[in-house]
Amino acid sequence: MSLFDWFANRPKVAPLSQEQQQREIADGLWTKCLACGALTYTKDLHLNNKVCPECGYHHPVKSHERLKQLLDADTWQPRNEHLTACDPLHFVDRKPYSERLREMQHKTGLNDAIQTGFGKIDTHPVALGVMDFNFMGGSMGSVVGEKITRLVEEATQARLPVILICASGGARMQEGMLSLMQMAKTAAALGRHRQANLLYISILTHPTTGGVTASFAMLGDLILAEPKALIGFAGRRVIEQTLREKLPDNFQTAEYLLQHGFVDMIVPRTQLKHTLAQLLRLHTPTSPPVGHRYVTPGFLLS
């Protein structure tokens, strides 16, 4: 091809019109950062675990993306995937709960707001639960509670560490008190895991609130959080509206919790797998201690 031909055949590239630009973003080729507005090639954003390379903003991630980010390839063995919610209260608000469930299942391809199973992080076998905020705001009803409890019980049997990645608005109102009791149920299962001197790492991601905060999220032996994640018990609006208190700027952020002693460390998502592997390594004794067993005070008389 002569240079002349090359010029002749060269696609006519003009600067993209605004409309075209927007179409390309809409097509998903590029992703605009929700925080700083920077455009990142979507594939690159995914390679960076959906953390904006410009400003470090952590874009929301789906549970299956989490699994891919954290686990060694082809090690995921899901458990209890087929557990689904029924509608024991026949709950109807502006829409029947059963219909909401069907819509959510269709939209997310998930049966409920958490995926649980076993896998390996840098060759360390772990029991892993990943909540999915896209499914009814990651709310905890019977299915989330039951899946976590079964996972923790199986991990206790198999003497494996548990890692739970939290993302939830709290208890699922549509299952009423059944949802509230999942807080106690999951806490009980984690208590037995703890009593067996096994490691539980809880990872708080944006957002972790309500009944999930007041149960398994805050029960980690070690608690990690993603930068700027919203973490709290009561909703910010509830506090503002009912009590008319002025809220500190960084109130209920990961950084606020770190400052007040409720989080061990803040770990950017890009470092999460590395940090977890490091923690797991540090909990793998080179030679198992003999005759030493720490007994949790509450269990002395049991």
Partner 1 sequence: MNSERKAVILDFERPLVEMEQRIRQIEQMAQESGVDVSDRVSQLVNNYRQLRQEIFSRLTPEQRVKVARHPRRPTTLDYIQAMTDEWLELHGDRGGSDDPALVGGFARLGGQPVLILGHQKGRDTKENVARNFGMASPGGYRKALRLMHHAHRFGLPIITLIDTPGAYPGVEAERLGQGEAIAVNLQEMFALAVPIICVVIGEGGSGGALGIGVGDRILMFEHAIYSVISPEGCAAILWKDSTQAAKAAQALKLTAPDLLELGLIDQILPEPLGAAHADPVQATETLKRALLDNLARLRELDGATLMRQRYDKFRRMGVVLDG
Range 250-269, binding partner 1 (CB under 8 A): 251-252, 260-262
By the rule CB under 8 A, 49 interacts with partner 1: no
Q: Which residue in 16, 34, 247, 265 binds partner 1 (CB under 8 A)?
A: 247
Nearer to partner 1, 118 or 216 (CB): 216
Does position 206 interact with partner 1 (CB under 8 A)? The reply is no
Stretch that binds partner 1, among 17-25, 53-61, 83-91, 155-163 (CB under 8 A): 83-91
76 or 251: CB nearest partner 1: 251
Element (H, E) at 265: strand 265-266
Q: Judged by CB under 8 A, does residue 245 bind partner 1?
A: yes
2 sits near partner 1 (criterion: CB under 8 A): no
Angle between helices 63-70 and 269-282 (to 10 degrees): 50
Q: Quote the tokens at residue 35.
A: 């925080």
Residue 111 CA, chain-centre distance (Å), reads: 16
Which one of 132, 213, 225, 279 is in contact with partner 1 (CB under 8 A)? Answer: 213
- Going by their DSSP bridges, the two strands 30-32 and 39-41 should be labelled as antiparallel
Which parts of 153-182 interact with partner 1 (CB under 8 A)?
A: 171, 173-182
Of the candidate residues 248, 285, 289, 291, the single one contacting partner 1 (CB under 8 A): 248
Structure tokens at 206: 């944006």
Q: How far is the CB of 93 from partner 1 (least distance, A)?
A: 4
Handedness of CA 77, 157, 81, 142 (dihedral sign): negative
Beta carbon of residue 269, minimum distance to partner 1 (angstroms, whole number):
22
For residue 97, give Cα distances in angstroms to 112, 176, 181: 13, 12, 19
Beta bridge partners of 165: 130, 203
State in angstroms the smallest separation of the CB of 251 from partner 1.
7
Stretch in the footprint of partner 1 (CB under 8 A) among 24-32, 245-253, 265-273, 286-294: 245-253
Query: Does residue 91 belong to the site contacting partner 1 (CB under 8 A)?
Result: yes
- How many residues touch partner 1 (CB under 8 A)? 71
Could you give the CA distance from residue 107 to residue 67 in angstroms, rounded to a whole number?
19
Determine how many CB atoms are found less than 10 A away from the CB of residue 289. 8
Rule CB under 8 A: say whether 113 interacts with partner 1: no
Q: Which residues within the stretch 119-148 sit at the binding site for partner 1 (CB under 8 A)?
A: 141-143, 145-146
For 50, the 3-state DSSP assignment is coil
DSSP string, 267-286: --HHHHHHHHHHHHHHTS-S
- Rule CB under 8 A: say whether 57 interacts with partner 1: no
Taking CB under 8 A as the binding criterion, the range among 3-11, 52-60, 128-136, 208-216 that sits at the site for partner 1 is 208-216
Give yes or no for residue 230 binding partner 1 (CB under 8 A).
no
Determine contact, residues 208/168, Cβ cutoff 8 Å.
yes
Residue 289's SS3 state is coil
